[in-house]
Structure formats: C-alpha cells, structure tokens
Chain A
Amino acid sequence: MAVQIEPGSKDRGIEASKAVEVATPTVADITAAAETSAHGYDPNLERIEIQLLLEGIYRHYGFDFRAYAYASLRRRIWKRIDSDHLRTISALQDRVLHDSAMMERLLLDLSINVTAMFRDPGFYAAFRRDVVPALRTYPFIRIWHAGCSTGEEAYSMAILLEEEDLYDRARIYATDINEVVIQKAKEGIFPLDRMQEYTQNYLRAGGTRSFSEYYTAMYDGALFAPRLMRNIVFSQHNLVTDRSFAECNVILCRNVLIYFDRNLQQRVHKLFYESLPMYGYLALGSKESLRFTGFEDNYEAVDRREKIYRKIQ
C-alpha cells in the first residue's frame, strides 16, 4: 500500500485518520522501541529534533503535523525509527527528506488509527434513542463523518439509518485526510475475520435485523451491499487546513481530535461549530470532552456518557 505524495502541494497537511489495520508490532519491536528511547536520549534534544523533522516534512512535502499532540507523535516516530533500525531522529529526518518512499511509510505511521464497525456500540444505541427522533422531523439529513478512515463507521451509520427508514433522505459526507483510506472505504470490503466481532457490536448497538443480511462473504472479505454506499460521499478533506464544505445536521468526529494539540483542537471545534445549524448534533469519542475546548457553553449534552452534544447558541 502506498500513499501518493505531491511534493508541490505545500498547503496540504495531514490529520489523524482512522484506517486499515496495520501489522501489529511484535513484542521484540516494542521492547526495541522502549530501549531506544530510554537510553541516552536527552529529552530537550529529542524535542528539538522532532520539531526539525516536522518542520522539514511540512516545508518539503506539505504535510503539517506540527500541531499534533506531542506524546503520541513521539511514540509513532520512535516506532518508525526502530522498524528501520535507525539510531536518531535526525537520521530519520535525513531519510525522510531524501527518500519519498520513507515519507510514505512515516505518513501511514502518523495518520493511521484502528477502527471497527459499530465501534462503541453504546454510542450507536444512544444515537438511535436520542438523535434519530429529531432527525425524523427533517426533510433532508446531512451527516459529516470527519476522519472516517476506511469507512467502517460510515457504513455502520448507513445501516442504522436504513433500519430507521431515514436513509433515503440522508447523505453521509465521509472525509479523511488520507487518500489511501478513502479509496479503500469506497470499495466497501472489510475483513471477513472481523464479522463475528462486528455482529456482536451490531446487536449491542440495537440492530434490528440479522447483520449477515448486509454483506456477501467473498474469498477473503465481506462485500457490503452496494445500496448502503448510495448515499455516502467519500472524499479527501483536511481538518488542519481545509474549510467547511456544507452545513450539516450531525457531525461525527470520534477519536480523531485526541491526536491534535489543544490549539489545533480549538481551531477544528470552531470549524465544526460553524458547520452546524442551531440544534445540530456533534458526536465525539467516549473520552473526548468539550470541557477543555472553549466551546462548552455553545452546546448542551444530549448524552453525557456517549458524548453526544447539541448546539444551543
């Protein structure tokens, strides 16, 4: 799998996206990572080198990780250094700036998250219970799924809306920074070996049918019904640099903003706020909060536990 990199597009950044499962590192890898970062690295020097690396990537390739949450970024950078048997962050910078294949690998490391269909089933159950009744009163429903990764959660939402007889008048705009995962999402094929887990999630999320009705088992994957795809628009969008593209009744952005620092989170929250009409819904990850964003007073909690909010001013 490769990421297209356009050295010319300086205004292009990258966000944390959720994506295909990457190969799980072995215990040896992890131990190696721990060893490297433990010994002989001055924390201040480490910070300087990471800043230089991110600045270099931004100026040369246009991907902007400079406002990412440092602790997670640092872990991912060290993982790449250790898998490539390098010794320092500067050595990684040398490789990244002179070898675009290396940049592709680092880009996947830095932008990929794990996702699942009906991830956090309690969220979908709450959405059915607390949000769907309001959506019924709308003539047309626009949902923006920001950071959709390979699309598992967008398909989950399509299934939920179909079961609630709302899908005909709904459109799901599913966006991610990473072009590779968007292409993957459009295929609508997910690993067969995860269907058991997804079926469990689906049932706990309040699914009303048999989950196997939604896909056809193929050679090595589960192909989801093309009708689910008909009202999903997958497209590349960068939360760091791009603007709002439509007014949406619901914005879902779950476990994406945790990878951003506080300032960048605030900027993205401003974007969300401006993209929602009055009484529009915002859904975050189960341990994300509006409390530290400066937008807390603009929303009321619809479901505090599942982090579903509604814009009230």
Chain B
Amino acid sequence: MIAVGASWGGLKALRAVAHGLPSHFRVPITFVQHRSKESAALRDLLQDCTSLIVCEVEDKQPIMGGYIYLAPPDYHLLVDGDAFSLSVDEPVRYSRPSIDVFFESVAERFGPEAVGVVLTGANEDGAAGLRQIAARGGQAIVQDPRTAESPIMPRSALRAVPSALSLPLERMTPYLISLATDAENARPRRASGGDEVRA
C-alpha cells in the first residue's frame, strides 16, 4: 500500500503523482488530502489526469490494485484487514481526514509493505504517521520541501523521520513505479505469499 498525504497545494502535487502512474500499476495507492466537507470535485480533477480508476472510498470497500483511492471529506480513513473503514471520530489537529490517523493504521496493517509519502502542506499532519510507518519497517518518502508549494508539512515530516527519502515532485512517481516493480519481482520469493493485499 502506498499512502500519500497532502494538504495546502496538494491538488497540483497529487495530479502530478497520478499523472505519471502507468495503467498497469497494481499497487493500491491512497491519497489523503485535507479539504472542506463540500468539496466534491477532487475525484474528477484527479481522474482527468490518470488512466487508473480514481475512487472516493466508501466504508468497508475492499482494497485492490489498479485503483487510486481517495479519502472522503469529513471522515477519517483507516484500513481494516483487506478493506477500508471510516470513522467520524473527532478531527485530529483540526483535520478530518487526518493523515496521521491513516498512516498509523497503514503502518499497523502493512508493516514493511507500507510506503508513506508526505507532500506539500501548511501544517504538521503526517509527520507522526510517517514515523510509525518507518518504525514498522515501511518506506518513508517526503517531497523535497524546496519543490513544495508549502514546505511546512514536508519539513516537519523530515524532522520526524530524518532517514526519509526526500525527492523532488517530478522524481516521485518514477520512484514509486520502481518500488512497485521491485515488490513485484520480489513476490515469488516470499515465503508467506498468498492472497494478502500487498504493497
């Protein structure tokens, strides 16, 4: 699972990430973007620039490859087994969806098969969650703050996870594709194999 968090300036950055993903990309990827309750257009704006299916998550929706999942506004997004689940618990640091809440649940569920990506934003959401992904052996990636529309969120993520890989936006998608290819190649050698949803 690739978990991507974005806030201020996120639309442009998420479009850039989505745009470069090939139609055969099979790792589930999820965008958590801070936005107002009423904003319904984000899904369409993202769909316009990718051949993968962009899907605003509904409760208990199974996680599958070939999709870009989008956290719905005004809910927290979590993963539960092989499906998503939602909650209307209080906002965390004024945000619902909270990137930290999603990343934490991805870390718990996917461990070393989780990839966390923190993009542009004007708050500190995502830093604690990214630390958890790293602590459980997952991969931490942060947009190079110098290339971010708002560098605050990437900077705080890098402070929380100094070992995170910092990449300019244009290198983000090629890197994710190479990760997915590596995971694909490594799969047959894994002892546990099976039907599990994998990163």
Contact = CB atoms under 8 A, between A and B. Distances in A.
A287 B92 CA distance: 19
Contacts, number: 104
B80 A287 contact: no
B110 to A, nearest CB: 10
A259 B105 CA distance: 15
A262 to B, nearest CB: 6
B93 A71 contact: no
A257 B59 contact: yes
Interface size range on B against A: 35 or more
A71 B60 contact: no
Contacts of B75: 258, 287
Contact of A287 (B58, B128, B131): B58
Interface in B14-47: none
B85 interface: yes
A178 B75 CA distance: 22
Interface in B81-110: 81, 83, 85-90, 92-93, 100-101, 104-105, 107-109
Interface residues of A, number: 38
Contacts of A226: none
A46 B136 CA distance: 14
A90 interface: no
A72 B58 contact: no
A39 to B, nearest CB: 6
Contact of B100 (A30, A286, A288, A293): A30
A114 B90 contact: yes
Given A43-B111, A289-B59, A261 B86 contact: no
A255 B88 contact: yes
A69 interface: yes
A73 to B, nearest CB: 9
B23 to A, nearest CB: 24
Interface string A69-80: 111101110000
A38 interface: yes
A75 B92 CA distance: 12
B105 A71 contact: yes
A31 interface: yes
Nearest to A284: B59
B102 to A, nearest CB: 10
A257 B59 CA distance: 9
Contact of B93 (A30, A46, A70, A259): A30
A22 interface: yes
A292 interface: yes
A30 B79 CA distance: 19
B87 A288 contact: no
Contact of B59 (A27, A35, A76, A288): A288
A113 interface: yes
Contacts of B85: 69, 71-72, 258
A265 B135 contact: no
B168 interface: no
A69 B76 CA distance: 13
Contact of B131 (A25, A38, A75, A286): A38
Given A38-B131, A288-B58, A291-B61, 16 more contacts: A18-B88, A25-B90, A30-B93, A31-B128, A38-B107, A38-B128, A43-B111, A69-B85, A71-B109, A72-B87, A75-B101, A257-B59, A259-B87, A285-B59, A289-B61, A292-B58
Interface of B: 56-62, 72, 75-76, 78-81, 83, 85-90, 92-93, 100-101, 104-105, 107-109, 111, 128-129, 131-132, 135-136
